[in-house]
Amino acid sequence: MHRFVWNLRYADPRAMHPQSPYNYPIAAIVGSTPLPPQGPLALPGKYEVRLKAGGQVIRQALEVKLDPRVAAARNELQSSLELQLRISALLEKNYDAYQQTKQLRARLAELMKRPKEDPIAVAAGPLDAKVAALEGEATPILETPKNASFMAVNDTLTALMALVDGADFAPSEESFAAYRRICKGSNEALAAWQELKNKEVAALNTLLSKNNLAVLPDVPNLADDEACGN
């Protein structure tokens, strides 16, 4: 007999883990506790499990029941789920932006190996510094991020996700306010990143083309969240 254990969670959002192993909760078990952020827990209710094998689909109904020790109302759990899904979506977008900066900096590092007086190396250095600032550094636990960088957004969102996930009641107004602040910081970082790509990256690409060199890779635009939960 085979047994499959479902952790009752949505898919984990993509995120950076620069503080590992210090991001683990205090009750973590070695080899058994996943590194946060984890996806939100599914709400109590009726579901259907589907097993696809050999062209056949086998279905089985199941019901997820609320822990009898939890007195939270359905709307409170729904509110928590919705906020965690918004946090997850913002983490995903932030992760994509962070990866874009990493890829660009890898190419800029190659260009900066050229002779110091080379116009391409001269242009690549300051651009790399600006991209590095947007990329950001890990924010130590309990410290306030120094700027609205992608790493700062990642760290604060990860902490907020753990806070909301660890409560058996509706998120506090402070949690919603924190999300709005982080979302606005994310929008600032995305806008700065887009402006950098439109102007300075484009200018360096023009210089590379004139010297018959491969231009910097084109990366998709990442739209910000205009509402931020307002």
67-110 per-position pLDDT tens digit: 898 888 889 999 999 999 999 999 999 999 999 999 999 999 99
Confidence category of residue 148, pLDDT binned at 50, 70, 90: confident
Confidence category of residue 21, pLDDT binned at 50, 70, 90: very low
Q: What 3-state class would DSSP assign to 49? A: strand
Read off the pLDDT of each residue in 157-168 and give the average, rounded to a whole number: 90
63, β-bridge pairs: 46
pLDDT, position 23: 62
Query: What is the C-alpha to C-alpha distance for residues 28 and 49, in angstroms, rounded to an integer?
Result: 29
Burial 78-106 (b: 16+ CB within 10 A, else e): ebbbebbebbbebbebbbebbebbeebbe
In Å, how far from its chain's centre is CA 129?
Answer: 22
Assess whether pLDDT exceeds 90 at residue 208: yes
Report which secondary-structure segment, H or E, holds 59. strand 56-64
Read off the pLDDT of each residue in 155-171 and give the average, rounded to a whole number: 90
The domain locations on the chain are: 74-210
Read off the pLDDT of each residue in 180-204 and give the average, rounded to a whole number: 93
Between the CA of residue 141 and those of 64, 144, 148, 166, 177, what are the distances in Å?
35, 8, 16, 17, 20
